[in-house]
Structure 1
Amino acid sequence: MAITKNYLKTKPVCKVTFTVPEAEAEKVAVVGDFNNWKPAKKYELKKLKNGNFKGTIDLEKGTSYQFRYLVDGAYKNDEQADSYAFNEFAGTENSVLEL
């Protein structure tokens, strides 16, 4: 898994690219507090020929976001997240993205 951050100079936005190696998966989406944890079409990652899923999301700079990947209905964290935060509701940790 990989996260790439591209900060825009002209806007208070960071383009965040998520890459998830899940060759056997049918569907991968990014869910988090930036989309109310709902896997909308806008947050689905595109499957590439090499088996990775990849997508870019514009997020506001200067903010911290909790997120997870939804891989065929199962939640997964990103091992390259900036940190992790305990989620009392789910009894597990969420990945954290610091922008």
Structure 2
Amino acid sequence: MALKKTFSKDKKKCTVTFTVSAEAAQGAKKINIAGDFNSWSSTDTPLKQGKDGSFSVKLELDADKEYQFRYLLDGYKWENDWKADKYIPAPYSNADNSVVVTKAK
């Protein structure tokens, strides 16, 4: 898994590519991302599967913020990003949420 960030010239937007490796996908047929940026919808933001078996999606987010998120594999299994910027306890479960930080360095 990986988070690739690209900032707009004015540094107000950050395009984040969220990637779930083939290994992390664990044979999933579909993966969605749910987080602060899509009101935690488990269906609004599907990732596209690549030829190598990985899944990815690009999202344009506001810069200088932190967004919590998780991946939903095949509609029932929640997974964190193994390489998230950090993790914080989820308010409604015993798990942690992944966090992407969109601060320009």
What TM-score comes out, normalization by structure 2 length?
0.86
Structure 1 residues 83, 46: CA separation in 2 closer, same or farther (over 3 Å shift)? Answer: same
Please give the per-residue CA displacement for 1:40-67, whole angstroms capped at 9, x wherever unaligned: 44x2110111100011000000111000
From 81, 100, 104, give the equivalent of 1:97.
100
What is the aligned residue count?
98
Unaligned runs of 5+ in 1: none
Match of 2:28 in 1: 25
Runs of 4+, deviation exceeding 3 Å = none
SS of aligned partner of 2:38:
coil
State the superposition RMSD in angstroms. 1.4
Q: Does the alignment pair 1:67 with 2:69?
A: yes
Unaligned runs of 5+ in 2: none
Task: Indicate the structure with greater strand content.
Answer: 1
CA distance in 1: counterparts of 2:84 and 2:94, whole angstroms: 19
Please give the per-residue CA displacement for 1:8-30, whole angstroms capped at 9, x wherever unaligned: 11461100001112261111111
